[in-house]
């Protein structure tokens, strides 16, 4: 992912990279290499031309979008978890919970807690907490379904399950501050 202020610079760079790679018999992947209008003025320029919202792109597991802050209205890059990646993770967890259906609840809870913490360690960035909440809620449904399928004698109610989920599934919260805040903490002025 590279950013340029002017389109001509981006086109020239892309042309030169293709030429340089061709010298070594390599080429850029056509579906993964594209020029998009993104940045501070993208929304305004596309609106003037009668086009829709600025394009988004997926990079390192996040969908990047053009956005504005609530307070000042200044430009900010919004990032949220790629939906396809979240769906794949939930399907993998669902298969594993199915395998662990008859394990003691505390053992499954410990395992799920470790999985959710790992997922949050990567995806808990500013602006993505709503998606983390969706992930947690879908995980609760998966685990609830497995618990209710364990036996036909007793089906636990939501009060008991709610306490169980709160015990083992961490609440979503931002774990990674904005880069400017991280930099200021490491290098005070």
Question: Exposed, middle or buried by CB within 10 Å (0-12, 13-18, 19+), for 108?
Answer: buried
Least confident residue range of 62-66, 86-90, 141-145: 62-66
Q: pTM for the full model?
A: 0.79
- pLDDT of res. 153: 57
Q: How many CB atoms lie within 10 A of CB 64?
A: 18
- pLDDT of res. 186: 60
Token pair 């809620």 is found at: 137
Question: Exposed, middle or buried by CB within 10 Å (0-12, 13-18, 19+), for 79?
Answer: buried
- What pLDDT band is residue 106 in, cutting at 50, 70 and 90? very high
Q: Residue 88 pLDDT more than 90? A: yes
Instruction: Round the average pLDDT of the chain to a whole number and report it.
Output: 86
Judge whether 53 and 46 are in contact, CB under 8 Å: yes
- pLDDT of res. 177: 77
Q: Residue 119 pLDDT more than 80? A: yes
pLDDT digit string, tens, across residues 148-188: 888 765 677 778 888 889 999 999 988 887 766 665 556 56
Instruction: Give residue limits of the domains in the chain.
Output: 1-35, 38-81, 83-179
Q: How many CB atoms lie within 10 A of CB 157?
A: 8
Q: Kind and range of the H or E element at 66?
A: strand 62-68
Closest residue by Cα to residue 36 from 11, 19, 68: 11
């Amino acid at each position: 992912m590279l950013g340029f202020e002017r389109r001509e610079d981006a086109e020239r760079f892309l042309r030169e990279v293709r030429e340089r790679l061709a010298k070594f018999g390599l080429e850029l992947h056509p579906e993964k290499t594209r020029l998009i209008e993104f940045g501070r003025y993208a929304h305004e320029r596309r609106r003037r031309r009668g086009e829709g919202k600025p394009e988004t792109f997926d990079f390192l597991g996040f969908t990047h979008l053009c956005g504005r802050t609530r307070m000042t209205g200044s430009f900010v890059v919004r990032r949220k978890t790629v939906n396809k990646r979240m769906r794949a993770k939930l399907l993998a967890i669902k298969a594993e919970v199915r395998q662990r259906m008859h394990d003691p609840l505390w053992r499954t809870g410990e395992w799920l807690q470790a999985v959710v913490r790992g997922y949050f360690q990567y995806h808990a960035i500013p602006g993505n907490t709503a998606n983390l909440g969706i992930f947690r809620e879908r995980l609760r449904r998966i685990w609830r379904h497995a618990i209710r399928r364990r036996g036909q004698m007793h089906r636990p109610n939501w009060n008991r399950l709610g306490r169980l989920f709160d015990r083992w599934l961490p609440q979503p919260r931002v774990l990674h501050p904005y880069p400017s805040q991280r930099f200021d903490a490491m290098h005070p002025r």
